[in-house]
């Protein structure tokens, strides 16, 4: 049998358990790719007989799923290539089954004009790894004072707008942004943390912070911004998305806002349903994140929010930090963790632990983020881009920082046993990653 990269227009991926949350498909079958697109799909392709002039790839009964869509990641380039580059992030992403990444605008220079958007798109196309879609900045230079040219950024290719790591704290600026978004059908994404309350805090306020002698960030820093911005959405009829929610109260506030019919969505990240503040241990800087890891009841509330649909998606919140930034006293170390290669296995913990079905777990990292941002991926349909991954959902492995493909190695899950391994990643019909074992 020919290999997956043998020159041919037609490639048949057969003997696969096809998992497609968008259609509810969970069946043994195959996918026929014609160049960059899906030409056919279904159980009738599972007879193991390749069509004329096609290459047959045997998936050996493993899951074939839409490529993951990571809707929040910091990629370093341009400006902080010592932490990450588009190439190293791309290699890490495809190893994690991620075929599309939406990158934050917190680069140097900031993605607040058309040239920044075009640079990212052009560089990603040249690399030929994961597709990269940029967020545009809400405020010029992320300074939170003057609104950026959102319309021009949208025309250049920005899929939504955020100030990334920075909260849009100025209420008038946020009101103007939401009003503009309402008029032109744009999505504003907020990092919800009231800067005055967060202050110089370095972990969640509570008994653990007190015991360790560390300055806390109160849960209310997140809750206040969420509740404030929900009121602004009521005023403006804008579309608003909250990133990486981590507290029970903020999730409940979003739940109630959705019940009132407001155009509000949210996501969370794997650390907030898989870890709690105890992961800080004895000043473990890999567990220093933004927002900080919360209490156990907050972690449980995040899981409930994922189960009942209040939380719309899971994003990696990939935030690479170089070794020098993490090898400091906890209070001085940079916040953030890498997450491209752990997005899949930690999300699958929700399935392995009985919280979600396999279709529901994959939905949170495929169709839902694609629909939120209007991206083509996230579905296995005839005529759609051939972006998918072959996954062994049961294969166990141990997260080890030195084996991660990201340029930086600061994973909060370092040393954790997980289940779920990507065997192959395909983008636009090309095999861009294949596991060695």
The CA distance from 431 to 9, in Å, is 13
431: left (phi over 0), alpha (psi -120 to 50) or beta: beta
Looking at residue 2, its pLDDT comes to: 44
Looking at residue 48, its pLDDT comes to: 58
Cα→Cα distances 96→209, 379, 418, Å? 33, 17, 13
What is the spatial order of strands in the sheet that 68-73 belongs to?
Answer: 68-73, 98-103, 131-134
Q: Which CATH number covers residue 352?
A: 3.20.20.140
pTM above 0.85, yes or no: yes
- What is the helix (H) or strand (E) element at residue 423, kind and residue range? strand 417-427
Looking at residue 1, its pLDDT comes to: 36
Looking at residue 54, its pLDDT comes to: 81
Q: Which CATH number covers residue 418?
A: 2.30.40.10
Q: Are 344 and 397 in contact (CB under 8 A)?
A: no
**Helical packing angle, 248-259 and 220-236, nearest 10°:** 20
How many beta carbons lie within 10 A of that of residue 179, not counting itself?
A: 15
Query: Token match 């192959």: residue?
Result: 424
Residues 54, 73, single domain; the answer is no
Q: How many residues does the chain have?
A: 437
Query: Token match 């545009």: residue?
Result: 136
Let me know if residue 240 belongs to a domain. Answer: yes
Looking at residue 303, its pLDDT comes to: 98
Final residue before a domain boundary, out of 326, 349, 373 = 373
**Helical packing angle, 296-308 and 248-259, nearest 10°:** 20
Let me know if residue 129 belongs to a domain. Answer: yes
Q: Are 130 and 93 in contact (CB under 8 A)?
A: yes
Residues 353, 427, single domain; the answer is no
Let me know if residue 411 belongs to a domain. Answer: yes
Give Cα 319 distance to the centre of its chain: 11
Strand partners, 134: 103
Q: For residue 378, give the nearest of 424, 422, 313, 435 by alpha carbon.
A: 313
How many beta carbons lie within 10 A of that of residue 395, not counting itself?
A: 16
Let me know if residue 1 belongs to a domain. Answer: no
Looking at residue 53, its pLDDT comes to: 77
Residues 54, 203, single domain; the answer is no
Quote the number of domains for the chain. Answer: 2
Query: Token match 């954790």: residue?
Result: 416
Let me know if residue 5 belongs to a domain. Answer: no
Looking at residue 281, its pLDDT comes to: 95
Helix (H, G, I), strand (E, B) or coil at 264: strand
pLDDT tens, 425-437?
Answer: 999 999 999 998 7
Active-site annotation holder among 20, 70, 317, 387: 317
The CA distance from 173 to 30, in Å, is 50
Looking at residue 98, its pLDDT comes to: 98
Looking at residue 436, its pLDDT comes to: 87
Pairing mode of beta strands 417-427, 430-434: antiparallel
Q: Domain span at residue 249?
A: 65-373
Let me know if residue 3 belongs to a domain. Answer: no
Provide the residue-wise pLDDT of the chain in tens; the chain has 437 residues: 345 555 557 999 999 999 999 999 999 999 999 999 999 999 999 865 666 678 999 999 999 999 999 999 999 999 999 999 999 999 999 999 999 999 999 999 999 999 999 999 899 999 999 999 999 999 999 999 999 999 999 999 999 999 999 999 999 999 999 999 999 999 999 999 999 999 999 999 999 999 999 999 999 999 999 999 999 999 999 999 999 999 999 999 999 999 999 999 999 999 999 999 999 999 999 999 999 999 999 999 999 999 999 999 999 999 999 999 999 999 999 999 999 999 999 999 999 999 999 999 999 999 999 999 999 999 999 999 999 999 999 999 999 999 999 999 999 999 999 999 999 999 999 999 999 87
Is 317 an active-site residue? yes
**Helical packing angle, 171-184 and 220-236, nearest 10°:** 50
pLDDT tens, 76-135?
Answer: 999 999 999 999 999 999 999 999 999 999 999 999 999 999 999 899 999 999 999 999
- Write out 387-410 in H/E/C secondary structure: CEEEEEEEEEEECCHHHCCCCCCC
Residues 51, 71, single domain; the answer is no
Residues 14, 110, single domain; the answer is no
Looking at residue 238, its pLDDT comes to: 97
């Amino acid at each position: 049998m020919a290999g997956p990269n043998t020159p041919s227009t037609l490639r048949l991926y057969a003997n696969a358990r096809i998992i497609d949350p968008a259609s509810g498909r969970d069946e043994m079958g195959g996918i026929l790719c014609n160049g960059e697109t899906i030409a056919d799909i279904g159980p009738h392709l599972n007879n193991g007989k390749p069509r004329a002039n096609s290459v047959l790839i045997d998936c050996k009964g493993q899951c074939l799923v839409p490529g993951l869509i990571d809707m929040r990641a910091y990629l370093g380039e341009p400006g902080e290539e010592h932490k990450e580059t588009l190439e190293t992030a791309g290699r890490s992403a495809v190893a994690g089954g991620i075929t599309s990444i939406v990158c934050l605008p917190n680069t140097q220079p900031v993605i607040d004009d058309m040239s920044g958007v075009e640079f990212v798109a052009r560089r990603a196309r040249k690399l030929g790894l994961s597709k990269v879609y940029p967020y545009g900045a809400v405020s010029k230079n992320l300074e939170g004072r003057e609104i950026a040219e959102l319309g021009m950024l949208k025309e250049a290719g920005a899929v939504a707008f955020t100030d990334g790591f920075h909260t849009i704290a100025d209420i008038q600026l946020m009101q103007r942004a939401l009003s503009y978004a309402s008029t032109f059908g744009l999505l504003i994404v907020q990092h919800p943390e009231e800067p005055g309350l967060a202050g110089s805090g370095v972990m969640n306020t509570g008994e653990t912070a007190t015991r360790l002698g560390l300055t806390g960030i109160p849960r209310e820093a997140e809750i206040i911004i969420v509740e404030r911005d929900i009121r602004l959405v009521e005023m403006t009829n804008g579309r608003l998305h909250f990133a990486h929610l981590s507290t029970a109260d903020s999730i409940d506030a979003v739940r109630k806002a959705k019940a009132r019919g407001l155009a509000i969505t949210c996501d969370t990240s794997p650390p907030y349903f898989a870890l709690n503040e105890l992961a800080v241990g004895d000043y473990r800087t890999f567990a220093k994140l933004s927002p900080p890891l919360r209490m156990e009841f907050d972690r449980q509330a995040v899981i409930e929010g994922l189960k009942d649909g209040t939380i719309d998606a899971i994003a990696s919140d990939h935030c690479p930090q170089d070794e020098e930034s993490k090898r400091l006293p906890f209070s001085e170390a940079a916040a953030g963790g890498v997450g491209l290669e752990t997005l899949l296995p930690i999300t699958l913990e929700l399935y392995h632990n009985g919280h979600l079905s396999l279709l529901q777990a994959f939905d949170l990292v495929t169709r839902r983020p694609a629909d939120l941002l209007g991206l083509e991926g996230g579905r296995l349909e005839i005529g759609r881009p051939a972006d998918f991954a072959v996954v062994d959902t049961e294969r166990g492995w141990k997260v080890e920082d030195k084996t991660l493909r990201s340029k930086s190695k600061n994973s909060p899950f370092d040393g954790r046993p997980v289940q779920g391994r990507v065997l192959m990643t395909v983008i636009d019909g090309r095999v861009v990653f294949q596991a060695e074992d």
